Amino acid sequence: VKPWEKRQRIISRICVGLVVVAVLIYMIPIYWIAATSIKPTLLIHSRTPVLFFQPTGEHYRHLLYRTVNIAGRERVLGASEYPERYWNSIVIGGISTFLAVALGTMAAYAFSRFKVKGQSDWMFFILSTRMLPPVVVVIPIFLMYRALGLLDTHLGLILLYTVFNVSFAVWLMKGFMDEIPKEYEEAALLDGYTRLQAFRKVTLPQSVTAIAATAVFCLISAWNEFAFALLLTTRSATTAPPTIANAMGASGLDWGQVAAGAAVFLLPVAFFTFLMRNHLLRGITFGAIKK
Amino acid sequence: VGQLGEAILEEKVLDVGNRPQEAVGGRRRRGGLSDHQVKTAFLMPTLLLLIAWNIFPLLWSLYLSFCSFSATDSQPARWIGIANYHAILNDPGIWKYFSTTATIVVFSVLAQAAIGFSLAMLLNRPFPLKGFVTTLLLVPMMLSPVVVGLFWKYLFDDVNGLMNFLAETVFRQERVQWLSTPRMALTSLVIVDTWMWSPFMMLISLAGLSAVPPHLYEAAEVDRASSWFKFRWITLPMVAPLLLVALLFRTMDAFKLFDLVYVMTKGAPGDSTETLSLHLYRIAFDQFDTGKACALAYIMLVIIIALSNLYVRYLNKVKEGH
């Protein structure tokens, strides 16, 4: 073995070692959420972290029921608000994603296939609406919603998340649409399809993957959204993030509860991240950087 | 059926059973909506929605920013000219919040670029489970900042936190009061933001690294170039444009930093971690000084629009280059 090769091998070993360290650093907080969520409360408050313990489901049970300890026995007080809020997140995220992707796909098709006057200006306008900090936009939206009676309604948040995501969907879908060759569609038009039929039967089936990827990204950002949900809802339409932040975090001590709520909330996102791994780059740069 | 049509049939893109009768018969017939109508029908809903939910409220808040108005008051808005802007720009507090925001942005974005790029260099070689490991590292940036922030608050806990345990046992340091001293509170925010967003830089750097044509390295190899030379004159110039786009993107994002601060410190201790977004939230929803809040919102708006303009311009440059 030449010394040069030997050096090369050592370097690559060191690199693998560093990767392992990086993965550890990244995974410890996530592991800790999972571990805390099944750790008995007493051990959570121990000064030295406890690694081995008898797992308990109490924190998950408390996500469902509010309980109180009377003379050492647990009594159920009533249903907790978390399942309801979680369901709000699903409904609001799901419907707004559907609307945003439907509108975004159509607009992206128009931008991609037809000449639109001032196209780059429109595209910039669309992007810039997404770039605005939520706290900046939320003040006039708050006033508008109060006047329209949309505060603390599902409809209000659904519409807002649709708007918030449609700009993203347009950009992402336009990138995808530009990659689908026009020729298929033109051939279909020659064959007597109308434009709408060509869109429905030729272009749409070819963009199924693109639509799925876009939908997942919209779903995740609606799912994670915090500022709007915090400021525009009070009870009935509140989603999970403000609930986790305010209701669970307010006492500041019930880390088991926070961990269980967080685990249930983060798991779907982690799952979708793995599902979308090949489209992440595109999604996160608004479709601007393609591999 | 025309030649192109046949090509499609061969590609099995079209299902014959679904084709309209006229098409199979080979007759050309145009019907339905014209291209122009389709274009209008496809664009209008999106544009109208964006205008109704963005332009209209923003015009309203532009008007309010010149008024004395409180959302909790029944009093109508009263025109006071540029007094709100004057008050904000003359408030020494605001400049502090500007500099707090800037500090967090600069440190976290630089740390993310450095860590992300290094990670990408490490990952840019074949090793077992590469795809899995890469995706694993990308999970944090997809998670909700609120939940991540809340959980890091537990990790940073003075008594029960994992960070202090590590500081004590592994690094033999004294326990640190992560979130209750001004310096450390800022540092903690930077740490969490960096933990979340370094993968973003890593992902973009990886894209840049994989786009470097291998023949450049081979040529350098023939010339017996040093590793440093290859890095400095091949790798870096190829990745730099993408990295710059990512930097700009993260700068805009960090500018909006709200969720993380809201759950981790709420600006505490004192106002040492009060970012612009958090301060805006306070003026608008604690003090309900709506007119003043609109003015501050407009100042931030102008900065963000300028940044995103820069971003799009640079992005187009990169796209043309690739």
Q: Which tokens in the block code for residue A151?
A: 């505060």
Average pLDDT, chain B: 83
Q: Which tokens in the block code for residue A24?
A: 């550890």
Give how far B47 is from chain A: nearest CA, Å: 8
What kind and span of H or E run contains B306?
A: helix B290-321
Residue A32 Ramachandran class (φ > 0 left, ψ -120 to 50 alpha, else beta): alpha
Give how far B256 is from chain A: nearest CA, Å: 5
A98 Cβ under 8 Å from any chain B Cβ? no
**Interior CA angle at B317 toward B40 and B118, to 5°?**
120
pLDDT class of B25 with cuts at 50, 70, 90: very low
User: Which tens digit of pLDDT belongs to each residue from A148-181?
Assistant: 999 999 999 999 999 989 999 999 999 899 989 9
A134 Cβ under 8 Å from any chain B Cβ? yes
Write the residue in B18, B50, B133 that is nearest to A129 by C-beta.
B50
pLDDT confidence of residue A165: 93
Q: Could you give the CA distance from residue A186 to residue A40 in angstroms, rounded to a whole number? A: 65
- Those residues whose C-beta lies under 8 Å from the C-beta of residue B132, and which sit 6 or more positions away, are none
Q: Residue B71's closest chain A neighbor by CA?
A: A143
B319 Cβ under 8 Å from any chain A Cβ? yes
pLDDT confidence of residue B49: 92
pLDDT class of B19 with cuts at 50, 70, 90: very low
Give the pLDDT mean for B71-75: 80
Asked whether the beta carbons of residue A143 and residue B300 sit closer than 8 angstroms, the reply is no
Write the residue in A29, A106, A289 that is nearest to B42 by C-beta.
A106
pLDDT confidence of residue A69: 67
For chain A, the farthest-separated pair of C-alpha atoms sits apart, in whole angstroms, at 81
Interface mutation target, options B18, B46, B150, B263, chain A, most CBs of A under 10 Å: B46
CB contacts of A262 in chain B (<8 Å) are: 147, 150-151
Which residues, given as ranges, of chain A have pLDDT below 70?
Answer: 1, 68-69, 72, 74, 247-253, 291
pLDDT confidence of residue B14: 43
Report whether pLDDT(B6) > 60.
Answer: no
Q: Are the C-beta atoms of residues B204 and B243 closer than 8 Å to each other?
A: yes
CB contacts of A264 in chain B (<8 Å) are: none
B 278-307 near A (Cβ less than 8 A): 280-281, 284-285, 290, 293-294, 297, 300-301, 304-305, 307
Q: Could you give the CA distance from residue A25 to residue A17 in angstroms, rounded to a whole number? A: 13
Burial A146-179 (b: 16+ CB within 10 A, else e): eeeebbebbebbbbbbbbbbbbbbbbbbbbbbee
Interface A–B counts its CB contacts (< 8 A) at 301
DSSP-based three-state secondary structure for B43: helix
Report CA-CA distances (Å) from B247 to A157, A285, B260: 31, 12, 19
Strand partners, B79: B67
Report whether pLDDT(B3) > 60.
Answer: no
pLDDT confidence of residue B5: 47
B79 Cβ under 8 Å from any chain A Cβ? no
Q: Which tokens in the block code for residue B265?
A: 């410190």
pLDDT confidence of residue A127: 84
What is the predicted ipTM?
0.87
Strand partners, A74: A69
Q: Could you give the CA distance from residue A143 to residue A271 in angstroms, rounded to a whole number? A: 37
Report whether pLDDT(B9) > 70.
Answer: no
User: Which tens digit of pLDDT belongs to each residue from B138-195?
Assistant: 889 889 998 888 889 888 888 778 888 888 888 777 777 888 888 889 999 999 999 9
Asked whether the beta carbons of residue A284 and residue B203 sit closer than 8 angstroms, the reply is yes
User: Which tens digit of pLDDT belongs to each residue from B150-165?
Assistant: 889 888 888 778 888 8
Q: Are the C-beta atoms of residues B185 and B269 closer than 8 Å to each other?
A: yes
pLDDT confidence of residue A253: 63
Report CA-CA distances (Å) from B272 to A138, A160, B99, B124, B251: 25, 32, 10, 40, 20
Q: Are the C-beta atoms of residues B219 and B309 closer than 8 Å to each other?
A: no
